[in-house]
Amino acid sequence: MSDLKKQHTVTLDMDKCIGCFSCVKRCPTEAIRVKDGKASVIYDKCIGCGECVRICQSNAKIPSYDKWEVMAPYKYKVALVPPSFYGQFNNVKDVNTILTALKNIGFDYVFEVGIGAELVSQATQRLLLKGKLPKPIISTACPAVLELINERFENLKPNILQLLAPVDVAAKLAREKVIRRGVNPSDIGVFFISPCPAKVYALKANKSVKEKYVDGAISVSEVYKKLLPELSNIEDSNNLSEMGILGLQWASSGGEAAAANCEKYLAADGIENVISILEALENGGLQDVEFIELNACTSGCVGGVLNVENPFVARARLRQLRRKFPQVGVMLSDVDKPLDWFFMEKDIENDHQTFSADRNEAFTKLLEIQHLLDDLPQIDCGACGAPSCRALCEDYVMGRISTINCPVKDRKDTK
Amino acid sequence: MSSLHLEYEVEGNNFVSAGQATEKVKFCLKGMGINPADIRRIAIAMYEAEINMVIHANGGKALVDIFVDKIVVKLVDTGPGIADIDKAMTPGFSTATDSIRDLGFGAGMGLHNMKKYTDEMYVESTVGVGTTITLVVNFS
C-alpha cells in the first residue's frame, strides 16, 4: 500500500527542498518530517490531500499524476472531464468549445464526469427515500476524506455512503458506450483529467472498484497547457455536453449536498474543517443532520492543487455557466442500470494506524510515549523536524528514529 | 495495575475549547487499537461531561486513567452541585439557560447519555461544593 502511495500521492524534489517546516506543520495527519535538512513523508499516514503541495514555497512537493505520454499506447482515447475543469478557462461562452478542443488535441471521445455525478445524486436520492441509510450519511466523492476516515475515524466507516465516486461511474459508462460503438476493447484507454493527487491515487489503487476502469490520470494543468492554444482556433463546436446543473454544481462545496436533495444537510470544506466535523460526529454530535458532504480542499474540487485557476474565480465562472445547462442532463432511467450497479464493488480496506497489533504491546508503547513526552518542552516548535513533541516521541517508540534530539531541551540543559 | 494518567483543565464558558481533552484521549485509544465502538462510547460520555462542566460549573478538571483493559475518567468541578441527582438523570431535564440552548446545548440528555454509553457511572455532588462524575468503559 505504501509503495503505491509513494508513487501516486506526492514526491519530493530534493534539490528544491530547503528543509523548512511549512509542510511538516501543515500536514493534517502529521505525516511529514524534516530529516537531514529535507522533508520526508511517512506514506502510511499520508492521505494524499495535497496540503503540502499548496503550502510549499519552494515548489519542492511534486503532486503525482500521469504525463501526456501515458496515452500513447492506446488507439482510442477517452477523456473523463470533471465539472471543475470548466471553471479553469476565461471567456468560455460554451463548454462545448472546451470539449471540442479536447477532441482536437487527441482525444477520440469525451465524457463528462458530471454525468456520473448526476447519476450518483439520483441514486442517493432514491436511497434516502427508502430511509435505509445510516444517519448521518457521509458522502464519498473526496478520496482524501475517505482515506482520512479510514486512518483516523474507523468509528464512522458505517456512515460512509457505499456508492461509487462519480469518476468511477463515468469511467464504467464511457467504456460501455465506446464498446457499443464498435471500438475494440483492447484499443480503449480511459483518462481522467484530475484536479488533485488524491483522486490520482484513488484511481491507481482501485480503491472501490474490482477491475480497472481508468487507464491514467492526467493533471488539469497538463491538459490546460495543451488545450489553451487550441481553444482560440475553435469556431464551430459540436454539441458534446450532456450533463446538467445537478452535475455541474458538484465542482464546488455544497453542490453535492444540494444535488442529493436532502434538506438537513451539512457541507464542510477545507481539511481542518473536515476533521472537526468528523470529531464532532464521533463524539455523538450533529444528530439532526442527515447528509454530510466533506471536501478536503477549500471550496471543493475547484480547490484541488492540480488546477490552474484560483478556486474562488473558478467557482464564480461555474456560477455564470449554470444558465447554459439544463437542470438535469442524464436521468437514472436513461442509463437503465439497477441501483446496485452504482455501489462500491469492494469493501474499503482498513488502514487504521495503531502502535502495535497486540493490545498489551500497544499499551506499553503508549506509556513509553507519554513518559518521554513528560521530559520534553511540549511547545511543538518543529525544530526537531517532527510536527509535535508527541509525534517525535511516537517516532522513537515506533522505531522510525534511533534517538530523541530536541534542540530546545538541549539548549536549556546546557544553560 | 499500571495506567496512563492524564490531566486536563476544562475552561468555563469556552465552548470552542470544550472537547479537547476528549480528542487527546481518543488519540491514545486509537493508537492502542481499542475497538472503535468502545472509543465512541467513552468519547460521547466524556464530551457530554466536558460540555456540562463548561455550561454549569465554570470549568473543572478531567482526570483520565487509561488501563490496558479499561478507561476511567473523573470529571471534577467546584460548581453549584446537583440538588437532585435522580431528577438530573431524567432524559430531557435541564437547568440550562435559554442562551445556552440557543447554542444547541442543554437538551437535558447529558447525564442520561453518560450513563447509557458507559459501563459504570457515578455522580457525587454536594450543593455549593461541586460535582465529581466518574465514567468507566471496559474495553472489549
Q: What is the pTM of this model?
A: 0.89
3-class DSSP string for chain B: CCCEEEEEEEECCCCCCCCHHHHHHHHHHHHHCCCHHHHHHHHHHHHHHHHHHHHHCCEEEEEEEECCCEEEEEEEECCCCCCCHHHHHCCCCCCCCHHHHHCCCCCCCHHHHHHHHCCEEEEEEECCCEEEEEEEEECC
Q: What is the pLDDT of residues A333-363, one digit of tens each?
A: 999 999 999 999 887 777 777 899 999 999 9
Q: What is the nearest CA distance from B47 to chain A, expressed in angstroms?
A: 6
Name which of A358, A386, A359 is nearest A372 in CA terms.
A386
Cα(A95)–Cα(A8) distance, rounded to whole angstroms? 30
For residue A287, what pLDDT band results from cuts at 50, 70 and 90? confident
Beta-bridge partner residues of B136? B72, B120
Cα(A139)–Cα(A150) distance, rounded to whole angstroms? 14
Q: Do A353 and B30 touch (CB under 8 A)?
A: yes
pLDDT value at residue B96: 74
Provide the mean pLDDT of chain A: 92
Contact A80, A111 (CB under 8 A): yes
Q: Do B31 and A365 touch (CB under 8 A)?
A: yes
Cα(A8)–Cα(A10) distance, rounded to whole angstroms? 6
Q: Which residues, 6 or more positions from A256, have their beta carbon under 8 angstroms from its beta carbon?
A: A117, A121, A139, A141, A249, A250, A267, A293, A300
Torsion A211-A215-A218-A220 (CA) sign: negative
**Is the reported ipTM for this assembly greater than 0.95?**
no
Q: What is the pLDDT of residues A92-122, one digit of tens each?
A: 888 999 999 999 999 999 999 999 999 999 9
For residue A415, what pLDDT band results from cuts at 50, 70 and 90? low
pLDDT value at residue B108: 66
Q: What is the pLDDT of residues A10-66, one digit of tens each?
A: 889 999 999 999 999 999 999 999 999 999 999 988 999 999 999 999 999 999 899
Kindly state the helix (H) or strand (E) to which residue A364 belongs, with its residue range. Answer: helix A359-374
Cα(A194)–Cα(A79) distance, rounded to whole angstroms? 11
CATH class of B4-138: alpha beta
pLDDT value at residue A8: 78
Q: Do A283 and B44 touch (CB under 8 A)?
A: yes
pLDDT value at residue B111: 86
Torsion A371-A377-A383-A389 (CA) sign: positive
Beta-bridge partner residues of A61? A12
Cα(B123)–Cα(B138) distance, rounded to whole angstroms? 18
Cα(A381)–Cα(B111) distance, rounded to whole angstroms? 39
Does the pLDDT of residue A1 top 60, yes or no? no
Q: What is the nearest CA distance from B13 to chain A, expressed in angstroms?
A: 18
Contact A197, A9 (CB under 8 A): yes
pLDDT value at residue A121: 95
Does the pLDDT of residue A303 top 60, yes or no? yes
In A, minimum Cα distance to B23 occurs at A279
Q: What percent of chain A has pLDDT over 90?
A: 76
Cα(B114)–Cα(B134) distance, rounded to whole angstroms? 10
Place of cell 467546584: B78
Q: Do A283 and B22 touch (CB under 8 A)?
A: yes
In B, minimum Cα distance to A151 occurs at B30
Cα(B66)–Cα(B74) distance, rounded to whole angstroms? 11
Cα(A362)–Cα(A356) distance, rounded to whole angstroms? 5
Cα(A194)–Cα(B69) distance, rounded to whole angstroms? 46
The answer, for A359 touching chain B at a CB cutoff of 8 Å, is: yes
Q: What is the pLDDT of residues A143-172, one digit of tens each?
A: 999 999 988 898 899 999 999 999 999 999
Q: What is the pLDDT of residues B25-63, one digit of tens each?
A: 999 999 999 999 999 999 999 998 998 888 888 889 999
In this complex, how many residue pairs, one in chain A and one in chain B, have their CB atoms less than 8 Å apart? 68
Supply A253's cell numbers: 462545496
Contacts of B30 in chain A (CB under 8 A): 152, 154, 352-354
- pLDDT tens track of chain B, all 140 residues? 789 999 999 888 777 778 888 989 999 999 999 999 999 999 999 998 998 888 888 889 999 999 999 999 999 998 888 888 888 788 777 777 777 777 667 666 678 889 899 999 999 989 999 999 999 999 99
pLDDT value at residue A251: 94
Q: What is the nearest CA distance from A238 to chain B, expressed in angstroms?
A: 53
Query: Which stretch of A213-227, A289-303, A359-373, A398-412 has the lowest confidence by average pLDDT?
Result: A398-412
Domain boundaries, chain B: 4-138
Once rounded to an integer, what is the mean pLDDT over residues A379-389?
93
| List of domains in chain A | 1-64 (3.30.70.20), 68-342 (no CATH), 358-415 (1.10.15)
Counting beta carbons within 10 angstroms of the beta carbon of residue A118, is it exposed (0 to 12), middle (13 to 18) or buried (19 or more)?
Answer: buried
Torsion B76-B81-B86-B89 (CA) sign: negative
**Probe site for chain A from B30, B105, B115, B137 (most A CB atoms < 10 A):** B30
Contacts of A362 in chain B (CB under 8 A): 31-33
User: Which among A157, A279, A362 is the nearest to B23, CB-wise?
Assistant: A279
